Amino acid sequence: MGVTVSDDSAALGQGPGCVIVDFTRPEVTMAHLAIARSTATPMVIGTTGLSASDEQKIAEAASDIPVVYCANTSVGVTLLSRIVSDVARALSDDWDIEIVETHHHHKIDAPSGTALALGHAAAKGRGVSLDAVRDSGRDGETGARKKGDIGFAVLRGGDVAGEHTVSFFGQQERIEITHRATGRIIFARGAVEAARFAASAPNGLYDMTDVLGLSSD
């Protein structure tokens, strides 16, 4: 197929039209980001579990190269995030928001990057910071649910590629929005589209809404 397979990271960013696509571990992503920046190579980052410091380095690198950074490259999840933000904006904080995510038993970070991205979308819709309202752990006598919190629950098992449900609980009614990934090929297709976008984009930090041509207001 004319594709060179190598374990030499130094080979990244070599040749015209090259884009570095990274779905690895945070420490590896940061090493690849340094290569991308030093070789002026566009980059697509789908790694989750990155720290605030890592994200700051990504933002800094985006001043020199195009970077598409997103927790999930699927079209469906990108649209789900938009819908979640719109619904949260339309409802008062009397509606409780809970996010449940399920993944295979090999996944090592929780909540998933996609679940957190959905939480950020809901918080953005409400005009608040997720850090201020996030509730990721309930065990024992926790007391009543705090008004305005955004809760997370995590399931791990089998070979589940990824399932995310955002529930809005009102009085005598509930809204549930779900995305189910039945295979990982959807992430690869999205990553290819992101790479095509990054290859011709100006320097800057982008996400999948930019790749799909959606407004990110």
Name the least confident of 14-28, 77-91, 128-142: 14-28
> Range with the lowest mean pLDDT among 10-14, 21-25, 166-170?
10-14
Q: Compute the distance between CA of residue 138 and CA of residue 148 in angstroms, rounded to an integer.
A: 16
* Cβ–Cβ < 8 Å for 75, 190: yes
Same domain, yes or no: 62 and 26: yes
Tell the residue number behind the tokens 């995310």, with chain if given: 164
Please write the tens of the pLDDT for every residue from 174-213: 999 999 999 989 999 999 999 999 999 999 999 999 999 8
CATH number at residue 41: 3.40.50.720
> Any catalytic annotation for residue 179?
no
Beta bridge partners of residue 101, listed in sequence order:
154, 164
Has residue 144 been placed in a domain?
Answer: yes
pLDDT at 145: 95
CA dist., res. 71 & res. 31, Å (int)? 18
pLDDT at 137: 83
Buried-exposed string 158-179: b where 16+ CB fall within 10 A, e elsewhere: eebbbbbbbbbeeeeeeeeeeb
Same domain, residue pair 39 and 116:
no
Give a yes or no: residue 2 inside a domain.
no
SS3 102: strand
The Cα–Cα gap between 83 and 103 comes to 22
Total of domains in the chain: 2
Clarify whether residues 104 and 160 are in a common domain.
Answer: yes
The pLDDT of residue 217 is: 54
pLDDT of residue 216: 55
Domain that includes residue 23, residue range? 9-69+185-211
Q: Given 32, 103, 124, 164, which residue is catalytic?
A: 103
Residues 90 and 136 in one domain: yes
Do 176 and 82 share a structural domain? Answer: yes
Do 79 and 164 share a structural domain? yes
- In the numeric block, the tokens 């690869």 are attached to 188
CB 188 within 8 A of CB 161: no
Tell me: do 113 and 151 sit in the same domain.
yes
pLDDT at 15 over 80: no
Q: In this structure, is residue 217 part of a structural domain? A: no
HSE of 114 in the Cβ direction (CA atoms, 13 Å)?
A: 28
Are 104 and 137 contained in the same domain? Answer: yes
Question: Taking the model in full, what pTM does it have?
Answer: 0.79
8 A C-beta contact, residue 47 and residue 109? no
Q: Which two tokens stand for residue 152?
A: 């997370």
Asked if residue 82 and residue 132 are part of one domain, the reply reads yes
What is the distance between the alpha carbons of residues 67 and 4, in angstroms, rounded to a whole number?
23
Catalytic-residue membership of 124: no
CATH number, residue 161? 3.30.360.10
